[in-house]
Amino acid sequence: MSVHCILAILILVLTLDDQVYSGKIIGGHEAVPHSRPYMVLLERNMPDGKKKYCGGFLLNEDFVMTAAHCHAKSYVVLLGAHNVNSNSEIQRIFVEQAFPHKQFNATSFVNDVMLLKLRTKAKFNENVTAIPLASHDSGTLPKSCILSGWGRTDKNNNYMSPKLMETTVTLIDNKECTMENFYCSQGDTGPAEGDSGGPLVCEDGKAFGVVSSAVTHSAGPDIYRYSKIPDSRNWIFSTIGNAMIKM
């Protein structure tokens, strides 16, 4: 089977199936409640009427970032959640407009980033704040990176975890990843179904990447890929600026 065929299969499991299941953080543990106030659970309303989910993160009062392959007919973002069953602490905001990266490649998943403009402003509080973006790529891999998401806690349990989970990953030096503007990790810990679109948070608590896709090789463990935010900064800020001018 070709790498692209395997990639296509894996990308299907990075998003949710037809039921209300969410992603799992492999090898993860429960996050300290509201310690990741930028985290977003993205409810995706699909053309067939079903709901699926992705991750995301808050950039400011008006915009959320996620993965371009998390496209849908319409969206609702859930902010301020730790336990998704506790409705009293969650802000639910409809998305007014989606801006997938114009150079997103649906085959290779290069430029797998998307901005979502909220219909109404997010209300910032101790449980809802934005995350700063990494400013540049110095050529050295960031260290101490963390992934967060809601979902199953083991391979035998498909149901969504009601509480936010997180895990630490170590980035690897991989030529193919570098050429396609990805950060990559490998091993027993990483993202899976429904975690697409969440942030790769590294040094100084900044978002360095967006959870994108995975590639598997018969000779080794899966490689998890994260779209590099520093490479998309110009597009991010020009898109936000243009959208705000049109308001």
Catalytic residue selected from 62, 112, 195, 222: 112
Contact 182, 228 (CB under 8 A): yes
Single out the residue of 222, 236, 231, 245 nearest to residue 26, CA to CA. 222
Specify whether 196 is catalytic: yes
Catalytic residue selected from 22, 148, 161, 196: 196
Catalytic residue selected from 22, 62, 69, 212: 69
Specify whether 136 is catalytic: no
Contact 115, 64 (CB under 8 A): yes
What's the full length of the chain, in residues?
Answer: 247
Q: Which residues are catalytic?
A: 69, 112, 196
